[in-house]
Chain A
Amino acid sequence: MSTHTIELTTRDGELLRFDCDADQSLLEAAADAHIVLPSQCRQGSCGACYADATRGDYILGEHNPAALPAGAAEKGGILLCRTFPLSDLSVSLPFDHDRILLGEIRRRNADIAAIEPVGENTVRLTLHLAPDDGGSVAEFEPGQFVELEVPGQAIRRAYSLANTGNWEGRLEFLIRLQPGGLFSTWLREQAHAGQTLIVHGPQGAFGLSENGLRPRWFVAGGTGLAPMLSMLRRMAEFQEPHPVRLYFGVNRVEELFCLTELEALKAELPQLQVILCVWKPNQDWQGFCGTPADALAQDLDDLNARPDIYLCGPPALIDAAEAAARSQGVPVEQVFSERFLPA
């Protein structure tokens, strides 16, 4: 079995090296070296471990093509969980060093505090972390996710956090109830306040980039709103002065949710502009008709803007928004995305 040296370079220029056997994925070998890289499904489906190979040969194993940006695989785009080295490799990571955990992913218990419907087929799940050796605090970066596991059942799903780190141990999620989905079914039929879940995390590299005062435009499809809410709430908490827009889209008007929260955010973050987008609106709809990617493309063109763009939602939305950003000349390093894919 041949072993190869893998060299990772983070977005902020830090170097990490580890050895990887030919039959090991880069993600597994990094974990063996106590380097926990952001990932989610670990089976080539979700795109959370996307990176770019800049030198060396490798095999990119079976994966969901939608987990990679369009055309990326031909230009060195890889999924760390599905990449096996054929030689020494250099890999460029699209996140900063501080998103790499040098240790193990934290595992904690949390009790369900509330499950509330917030829109058609969408619920807000609130958990309270149980105190452990680290106390009762909820420590995470806005944009990150955790995996929720139902004890005793083979159900484990990743969800983005919608609130910000806090000292009460509160975790808030926006969850779309998928027809036939394991976690969705459990949530709809069995879950109740007081039940205990296992929380794995925080994890993930999606989050705010600190680039001075460049405007921040957030583009969310459906429950892709959750990490955007987290980042906007952080901006409000820190009273950050960046010009900021949120493009929030759903398919039908009835599916809109969290509008009260968005109004509250506008009060705390006065420069926030919210553009609600409905793809198939009814006749009464006064807002934008189309997807948030359509609205983004229109405003980038009209305003000749080059903001930092944050995208979260289904792959088709991300691809369309990335294409719009590209065509308007927004540098690729100013576009940050997280794809929602069924695991």
Chain B
Amino acid sequence: MFCYQCEQTYRSETASGCASTKGMCGKDATTSDLQDLLIHGAKGIAQYAKRARALNAPDNEAGGFILYALFTTLTNVNFNATRFTVLLQQTASIRDRVKARYEAAALAAGKVPESLTGPAAWQPAADMEGLLGQAAEVGINAGLEQVGPDIIGLRSLVLYGLKGVCAYAHHAHVLGKESEAVYAGIEDALDFLSSEPTDADALLNQSLALGFLNLSVMELLDAANTGTFGAQQPTQVRVTPIPGKAILVSGHDLGDLAALLEQTRDTGINIYTHGEMLPAHAYPKLKAYPHLAGNYGGAWQDQQKDFADFPGPILMTSNCIIEPQPQYRQRIFTAGPVGWPGVRHISDKNFAPLIQAARALPGFKETAETEKTITIGFGRDAVLGVADQVIDAVKSGAIRHFFLIGGCDGAAPGRNYYTEFAEKAPMDTVVLTLGCNKYRFNQHDFGDIGGIPRLLDMGQCNDTYSAIKVAVALAEAFDCDVNDLPLSLVVSWFEQKAAAVLLTLLALGIRNIRLGPTLPAFLTPNLVQALVDRYGLQPITTAQADIDAALAPKAA
């Protein structure tokens, strides 16, 4: 295996990347290699799909499959080699269907169909040894000796950004939202990668194209979420449990949560959110369910303790799953793109086994613990609803600056930076949060500025579109560029969704983003320098130094 797609990848003074029998995330070499081969197969689908689409013979079902397939390869999503073996067979079958569609469309248009090579011509080997042999030829660092690390790094930037785009598009897709333009953009990017590009400018341009594509995907997802469940509203969420039977839902898939809430209606079973599912409480149509009881536990990296302590079954709807411990291995279920060997998978939203498990497990007992709540739900509508108040506060000097702390959490000690940053932010500044890196500090009391809470949670990383809209609206109100707003972006990244969001921010021309806790291993020193020169991208230093730098008067 060779994988360096996430922040926790193995790093030493001489080498970066997980290249042994098991990655830092727990993914074994077989699964990692099969994931590489799946991406290769998806490129093959895209080569034909792009050409079919150009002939007005699109195959959106194949597009949906690509979203799902690439999502399964994100960090901490699917560790099940069996599932990948099956997906590879499906990939070849879908590729053949799209190929036939393309060739028929070409002939109908009086054209000679192209004879495609590379991934388009791949045929899955008959056995595991054969598949692994094929995988060894198509990993992310294939061709390193010929093209050098900068080109491999740029291909990685494109591929990992694309994985994030596909994950977000999949979230929208399962709520019934899809877009021809999005499928076309994804097919273009995969087709581009299948050509084994070596032009650095072309690769950078493709990265930015993906950034823009991701913006439209985030808009699609925003429409899917708010269209299905209403706009997020400021909401008090209970973070202490209620006595009774309980189910915990983690991940990002609001559709799975909604289906489970419906199936557990009037059963007496309480549903708790975990990790990135927290913002669900702010959606009117979800919080209308009285048994959506509260939020439980911390961020994803705490799940082995949180899940072991939880007295009911657990549903993992998307990233991030880490190795289920024996204490809860029998009562964790996966759904959607998620998988773990030996863990029950529910693929049809029939959560009856989960409900049966909840009834058999003890649930929460009576406790003397005092009820605690946190406030969430400051999505676009909520923040813009008080835009006048916010603008007045900025103009009067009551609010000096905004810090958007967004992105993923992780286990690395360096991630304390983000907690420290939030806590040290001066009292005349507002902290906006987005993603799962807020769990280290979102139960602290940050107070308010003239009634405006100092900590405003804008939701999942999936809600980035909302944050961008707020920034753009504020820039319009102040008649300035987003880069001229009293706003600093402090981003923690972990996996490929964050890579996609970063590309979007760069594509929009957002400058001076602080990125940490470490820079991606796939970005070579030359590529980092290029991003610094072009976008002012900066690694984090210390919380205090970065706050001081953000608040320092800008040079004329």
Binding site for B on A (CB under 8 A): 12-13, 97-103, 133-137, 139-141, 165, 167-169, 208, 210-214, 238, 240-242
Distance in Å: Cβ of B399 to nearest Cβ of chain A:
48
Known: A98-B324, A167-B357, A210-B82. Contact between A137 and B342, CB under 8 A?
no
B residues less than 8 Å from A102 (CB atoms): 325-326
Complex contacts, B326 vs chain A, CB 8 Å: 98-102
| Chain B residues in 8 Å Cβ range of A103 | 327
| In contact, B128 and A13 (Cβ under 8 angstroms) | no
The one of A134, A238, A242 that contacts B344, using a Cβ cutoff of 8 Å: A238
Whether the pair A211, B128 counts as a contact (CB closer than 8 A) is: yes
Name the CB-closest residue of B to A164: B330
Residues of A within 8 A of B359 (CB): 167
Q: Which residues of A contact B331 (CB under 8 A)?
A: 137, 139
Given contacts A212-B81, A214-B128, contact A98 B323 (CB under 8 A): yes
In angstroms, Cα B324 to Cα A141, docked, is 13
B156 CB within 8 Å of chain A: no
Contacts of A167 in B (CB 8 A): 353, 356-357, 359-360
Q: What total count of A-B pairs have CB within 8 Å? A: 76
Partner of A135, one of B341, B342, B361: B361
* Distance between Cα atoms of A240 and B341 in the complex (Å): 11
Is B361 within 8 A of A213, CB to CB?
no
Q: Is residue B366 contacting chain A, with contact meaning CB distance below 8 A?
A: no
A213 to B82, CA, bound (A): 6
Residues from chain B with Cβ under 8 Å of A97 in the complex: 323
Query: Are B361 and A134 touching (Cβ within 8 A)?
Result: yes
B124 to chain A, nearest CB (A): 11
Instruction: Flag B316-350 by CB within 8 Å of A: 1 or 0 each.
Output: 00000001111101110000000001101100000
Are the CB atoms of A242 and B324 closer together than 8 Å? no
- Given known contacts A13-B22, A167-B359, A167-B360, A214 and B127 CB-to-CB distance under 8 angstroms: yes
Q: Are B345 and A98 in contact (CB under 8 A)?
A: no
- Closest B-chain residue to A139, C-beta based? B330
Give the docked Cα–Cα distance between A140 and B329 (Å).
Answer: 9
Report if B84 contacts A (CB, 8 A): yes
> Is B206 in contact with chain A by the CB < 8 A criterion?
no
Query: Is B496 in contact with chain A by the CB < 8 A criterion?
Result: no
A241 to chain B, nearest CB (A): 6
Confirm or deny: B28 has a beta carbon within 8 angstroms of a beta carbon on chain A: yes
Residue in B28, B85, B327, B362 whose beta carbon sits within 8 Å of that of A12 in the complex: B28
Separation of A335 and B529 alpha carbons in the complex (Å) = 51
- Residues on B with C-beta less than 8 A from A241 are 82, 86
B22 touches A137 (CB 8 A): no
Size of B's binding interface in residues, CB under 8 A: 35
Closest to B362 in A: A135
A12-B28, A134-B362, A135-B362 given; A210·B80 CB < 8 A: yes
New contact pairs (16) apart from A98-B326, A103-B327, A167-B359, CB-CB < 8 Å: A12-B28, A101-B326, A102-B325, A102-B326, A137-B361, A139-B329, A139-B331, A167-B353, A210-B80, A212-B30, A212-B34, A212-B81, A212-B82, A213-B85, A214-B128, A238-B344
Residues of chain A lying within 8 A (CB to CB) of residue B20: 13
Query: Can you pick out 27 interface pairs between chain A and chain B where the beta carbons lie within 8 Å of each other?
Result: A12-B22, A13-B20, A13-B21, A97-B323, A98-B323, A98-B326, A100-B326, A102-B325, A134-B362, A135-B360, A135-B361, A137-B357, A137-B360, A141-B329, A141-B330, A165-B330, A167-B353, A169-B360, A210-B81, A210-B82, A211-B81, A212-B131, A213-B82, A213-B85, A238-B344, A241-B82, A242-B82
Tell me how far the C-beta of A136 lies from the nearest C-beta in chain B, rounded to whole angstroms.
5
Cβ contacts under 8 Å, B360 to chain A = 135-137, 167-169
A interface footprint on B351-377 (CB within 8 Å = 1, 0 otherwise):
001001101111000000000000000
Measured in the bound complex, the distance between the Cα atoms of B28 and A46 in whole Å is: 31
CA distance A97 to B356 in the complex (A): 28
> Which residues of the partner chain B approach A240 to less than 8 Å between Cβ atoms?
82
**Chain B positions 138 through 176: 1 when the CB is less than 8 Å from some CB of chain A, otherwise 0:** 000000000000000000000000000000000000000
Q: Which residues of A contact B22 (CB under 8 A)?
A: 12-13
- Chain B residue numbers with a CB within 8 Å of A136 are 360
> Which residues on the B side are within 8 Å of A100 (C-beta)?
326
> Across the two chains, which residue of chain A brings its CB closest to B245?
A135
A219 CA to B342 CA in the complex, in Å? 21
Q: Which of A99, A101, A210, A241 has the most CB of B within 10 A?
A: A210
Cβ contact within 8 Å between B330 and A137: yes
CA distance A213 to B131 in the complex (A): 11
A-B pairs, top 5 by smallest CB distance, nearest first, are: A210-B341, A139-B330, A167-B360, A213-B85, A135-B361
Q: Give min CB distance, A129 to chain B, whole Å.
A: 10
Known contacts A13-B20, A238-B344; A212/B362 CB under 8 A: no
Query: By the criterion CB–CB under 8 Å, are A238 and B345 in contact?
Result: yes
- A133, B341: Cβ atoms closer than 8 Å: no
List, in ascending order, chain A residues with CB within 8 A of B341's CB: 210
- Give the residues in chain A near B21, CB-CB below 8 Å: 12-13
In the complex, chain A residues whose CB is within 8 Å of the CB of B361: 134-135, 137
Inter-chain contacts of A208 with B (CB < 8 A): 342
Q: Are B345 and A212 within 8 A (Cβ)?
A: no
| CB-CB nearest in chain B for A141 | B342
Q: Which residues of A contact B324 (CB under 8 A)?
A: 98
Closest chain B CB from A24 CB (angstroms): 24
Interfacial chain A residues near B86, Cβ < 8 Å: 213, 241
User: Residue on A with the closest CB to B33?
Assistant: A212
Across-interface contacts of A169 in B (CB, < 8 A): 360
Is there an interface contact between B325 and A98, defined as CB atoms closer than 8 Å?
yes
